[in-house]
């Protein structure tokens, strides 16, 4: 089945030695690492890329470079849409399950506009898409692309709409039409932007392939619920010379969900576990279909679209096209995406220990929380935004949130007593009062016994801290 010439090293089997053997082995430090072995280890862990080894790029190492590239090639090809600073990379996945390594290139979410929208509506949607921002554990969660759909099927209208989009946004584009003539008019308007062409089908593949080659753009392949056709089209387009492909096996809502999830799963398994190169491309899902299927309140369409999107983020979609710009529908999805794409090799935890906020003195309150990053950042931001002078004792709960840590005995009275002692907070304040999270109330008696500190049970959510201190901290 595989058409790969060199066997790609499975992520798990690939050892730093395999990479090291092909490096120049001069320990020149030009890459910034201490030696070639350290560099090789980082390469295997996907923390650096081989291009960061300057000698390797020289003519004499050409063969080794090629071998390394092949060895490190991801199961899912990485496809770049747009160019320069604007570019978004999709795919590039090394594994099927996130615990096997880690997922790269978070699912790019595109919001649609059409060539029949009024100026106001179109520009408004661009603005909303670009303006979408949510601060989450020190990151800014955003939307990534604009999909321009030709609902008119009219060459001039599409060209005009794409032109307007190009002039008003720097987000990468997906141009959507099954008509090659309409699509080309968009490509002309979006020159320099290397948009994703959506899509080649069994009927138009030849013309779409010509467009992809002529304008040097990635091409999506649409074969709804027909994996034989999808795979055949990929083979054909590859032979035709189109390198960058994105696959759409169709997103079906409601009773079609089983086929949708099966197709995405089978394609990813074939690529990652069976080395099927013809299916080793990024996947695109279209939760937007929920809008055509349901009538009635827009909340219901947005609701359906949102939950289908979430399932496809979990099951392997690399790009999603969505219609709703409602915050409540998008927020769970950008957060889920962030969660699924975090590196499972690294705990999302902060250093335990004492933190100071503002200019605390010997009478300032001492509060306590866990070292789960999200808990910590949430509490810290609540204290900071209220401008409170205080100490925060961060107890090691092995990176687990308060309620789960208490239930799972990762946060215990012993740990808290020990943290109080180690932090030397007793040298900084003249009182012995510890404010603990409301969700850790269960531990209060035991903490008092073990530490000799008086425990005050604080609010269940840190947003209640300012009010709590105002009322209870005298």
Partner 1 sequence: MKTVGKEEEKRAGITFDPEILNLLKNFGEIELEDVEIELGDLEFWFQPGAVAAPPRVLAPPKVKPTTILEAPFTFPIATYPGQIAEVKLGATKGKGGTRGKSIVIGGEKSPAFYTFENPTPHPPVISFDVFDVKVPLAKAVKMHVKDVLEDPAAWAKLSVDKFGADMITLHLVSIDPLNPTPSTPKEAAKTVENVLQAVDVPLIIGGCGDPKKDLEVFERVTEVAEGERLLISTVTLDMDIERAAKAIKEHGHVALAFTPMDLNQARQLNRRLFEFIPKDQIVMDTTTAALGYGLDYAYTIMERARLAGLMGDPELQQPMSSGTTNAWAAREAWQEMAPEWGPRELRGPIWETVTALTLLLAGVDLFMMMHPAAVKTLKDVIEGLTGKGRGEPKKIANWITSRI
| Shortest separation between residue 386's beta carbon and partner 1, angstroms | 16
Closer Cβ to partner 1, 42 or 193, answer by number: 193
Task: Select from 169, 263, 364, 423 the one that contacts partner 1 (CB under 8 A).
Answer: 263
Shortest Å, Cβ 253 to partner 1 = 8
Q: Take residue 214 and report the two structure tokens written for it.
A: 């002529």
| Residue of the chain from 4, 58, 206, 363 that contacts partner 1 (CB under 8 A) | 206
Instruction: Quickly count: other Cβ atoms within 10 Å of residue 265's Cβ.
Output: 13
How far apart are CB 284 and partner 1 at their closest, in Å?
Answer: 12
- Residue from 55, 136, 389, 426 binding partner 1 (CB under 8 A): 136
Q: How far is the CB of 425 from partner 1 (least distance, A)?
A: 26
Kindly state the helix (H) or strand (E) to which residue 395 belongs, with its residue range.
Answer: strand 390-395
Residue 86, interface with partner 1 (CB under 8 A)? no
**CB 259, min distance to partner 1, A:** 3
Q: Is 238 exposed, middle or buried (0-12, 13-18, 19+ CB in 10 A)?
A: middle
Decide the pairing of beta strands 319-322 and 284-285. Answer: parallel
Reported as type and span, the H/E element at residue 284 is strand 284-285
Stretch that binds partner 1, among 159-167, 180-188, 350-358, 415-423 (CB under 8 A): 180-188
- Report the site for partner 1 in 294-333 (rule: CB under 8 A): 294-297, 299-301, 303, 306-307, 310-311, 314-315, 323, 325-329, 331-333
Note whether 265 binds partner 1 by CB under 8 A.
Answer: yes
User: Residue 295 or 427: which CB sits closer to partner 1?
Assistant: 295
Stretch that binds partner 1, among 15-23, 30-38, 231-239, 422-430 (CB under 8 A): 231-239
What are the distances in angstroms from CA 113 to CA 118, 159, 323? 10, 13, 8
Tokens representing 191?
């020159």
Residues numbered 362-391 forming contacts with partner 1, rule: CB under 8 A: 372, 374-375, 378
Pairing of strands 433-436, 454-457: parallel
Q: Cβ(319)–Cβ(110) under 8 Å?
A: yes
Per CB under 8 A, which region of 19-27, 162-170, 386-394, 406-414 contacts partner 1?
Answer: 406-414
Task: For the chain, state the CA radius of gyration.
Answer: 27
Q: Is residue 188 close enough to count as binding partner 1 by CB under 8 A?
A: yes
Neighbours of 306 (CB within 10 A): 20
């923390």: which residue's tokens?
A: 47
Task: Report the alpha-carbon distance of residue 90 to residue 103 in Å, rounded.
Answer: 11
Determine the Cα–Cα distance for residues 464 and 245; give it in Å rounded to an integer: 51
Contact 462, 379 (CB under 8 A): yes
Residue 92 binding partner 1, by CB under 8 A: no
Phi, psi (deg, nearest 5) at residue 322: -130, 160
The binder of partner 1 chosen from 262, 354, 377, 386 (CB under 8 A): 262
- For position 191 contacting partner 1 by CB under 8 A, the verdict is yes
- Taking the least distance from each CB to partner 1, the nearer of 72 and 197 is 197
Residue 176 interacts with partner 1 (CB under 8 A): yes or no? yes
Q: Which residue, among 384, 332, 411, 426, has the nearest Cα to 136 in the 3D structure?
A: 332
With CB under 8 A as the contact rule, which of the stretches 45-53, 70-78, 162-170, 273-281 interacts with partner 1? 273-281
Residue with tokens 């690294």: 346
Which of 54, 257, 356, 449 contacts partner 1 by CB under 8 A?
A: 257
State yes or no: residue 158 binds partner 1 (CB under 8 A).
Answer: no
Residue 166 touches partner 1, criterion: CB under 8 A: no
Count of residues of this chain found to bind partner 1 when the rule CB under 8 A is applied? 134
Query: Residues 6 or more apart from 198 whose CB is under 8 A from it?
Result: 147, 174, 175, 176, 177, 220, 222, 248, 284
Give min distance, CB of 106 to partner 1, in A: 12
Contacts of 432-436 with C-beta under 8 Å, sequence gap 24+, read: 433/365, 433/366, 434/366, 434/367, 434/368, 434/393, 435/365, 435/366, 435/367, 435/368, 435/468, 435/473, 436/367, 436/368
Does position 70 bind partner 1 by CB under 8 A? no
- Least distance in angstroms from the C-beta of 468 to partner 1: 16
What's the min distance (Å) between Cβ of 109 and partner 1? 14
Neighbours of 344 (CB within 10 A): 15
Q: Choose which of 63, 235, 363, 433 interacts with partner 1 (CB under 8 A).
A: 235
Least Å distance, CB 282 to partner 1, is 18
Per CB under 8 A, which of residues 415..454 are in contact with partner 1?
441-442
The residue among 241 and 358 lying less far from partner 1, judged by its C-beta, is 241
What residues numbered 106-135 form the site for partner 1, per CB under 8 A? 114, 116, 128, 131
Q: How far apart are CA 308 and CA 252, in angstroms?
A: 9
Under the binding rule (CB under 8 A), the answer on residue 67 touching partner 1 is no
Residue with Cβ nearer partner 1 (340 or 425): 340
């Amino acid at each position: 089945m595989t058409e790969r010439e060199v066997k790609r090293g499975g992520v798990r089997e690939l050892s730093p030695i395999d990479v090291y053997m092909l490096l120049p082995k001069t320990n020149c430090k030009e890459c910034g690492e201490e030696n070639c072995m350290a560099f090789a280890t980082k390469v295997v862990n996907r923390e650096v890329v081989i291009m960061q080894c300057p000698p390797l790029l020289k003519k004499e190492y050409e063969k080794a470079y090629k071998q390394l590239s092949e060895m490190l090639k991801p199961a899912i090809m990485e496809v770049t849409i747009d160019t320069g600073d604007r570019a978004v990379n999709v795919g590039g996945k090394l594994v099927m399950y996130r615990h096997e390594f880690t997922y790269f290139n978070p699912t790019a979410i595109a919001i649609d506009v059409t060539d029949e929208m009024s100026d106001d509506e179109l520009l408004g949607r661009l603005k909303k898409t670009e303006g979408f921002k949510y601060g989450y554990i020190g990151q800014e969660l955003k939307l990534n692309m604009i999909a321009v759909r030709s609902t008119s099927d009219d060459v001039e209208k599409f060209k005009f709409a794409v032109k307007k989009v190009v002039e008003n946004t720097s987000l990468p584009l997906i141009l959507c039409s099954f008509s090659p003539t309409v699509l080309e008019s968009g490509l002309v308007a979006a020159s320099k932007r290397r948009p994703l062409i959506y899509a080649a089908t069994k009927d138009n593949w030849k013309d779409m392939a010509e467009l992809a080659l002529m304008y040097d753009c990635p091409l999506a392949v649409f074969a709804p619920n027909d994996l034989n056709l999808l795979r055949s089209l990929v083979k054909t387009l590859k032979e035709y010379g189109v390198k960058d492909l994105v696959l759409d096996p169709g997103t079906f809502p409601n009773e079609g969900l089983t086929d949708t999830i099966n197709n995405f799963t089978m394609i990813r398994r074939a690529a990652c576990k069976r080395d099927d190169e013809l299916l080793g491309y990024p996947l695109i899902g279209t939760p937007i279909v929920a809008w055509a299927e349901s009538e009635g309140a827009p909340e219901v369409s947005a609701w359906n679209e949102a939950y289908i999107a979430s399932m496809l983020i979990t099951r392997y979609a690399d790009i999603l096209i969505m219609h709703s710009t409602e915050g409540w529908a998008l927020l769970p999805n950008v957060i889920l995406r962030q969660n699924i794409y975090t590196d499972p090799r690294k705990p999302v935890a902060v250093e335990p220990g004492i933190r100071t906020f503002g200019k605390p003195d010997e009478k300032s309150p001492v509060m306590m929380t866990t070292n789960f990053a999200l808990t910590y950042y949430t509490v810290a931001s609540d204290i900071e935004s209220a401008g409170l002078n205080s100490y925060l004792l961060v107890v090691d709960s092995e990176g687990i949130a308060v309620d789960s840590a208490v239930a799972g005995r990762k946060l215990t009275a012993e740990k808290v007593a020990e943290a109080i002692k180690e932090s030397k907070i007793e040298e900084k304040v003249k009182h012995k009062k510890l404010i603990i999270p409301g969700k850790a109330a269960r531990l209060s008696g035991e903490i008092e016994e073990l530490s000799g500190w008086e425990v005050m049970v604080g609010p269940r959510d840190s947003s209640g801290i300012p009010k709590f201190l105002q009322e209870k901290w005298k």
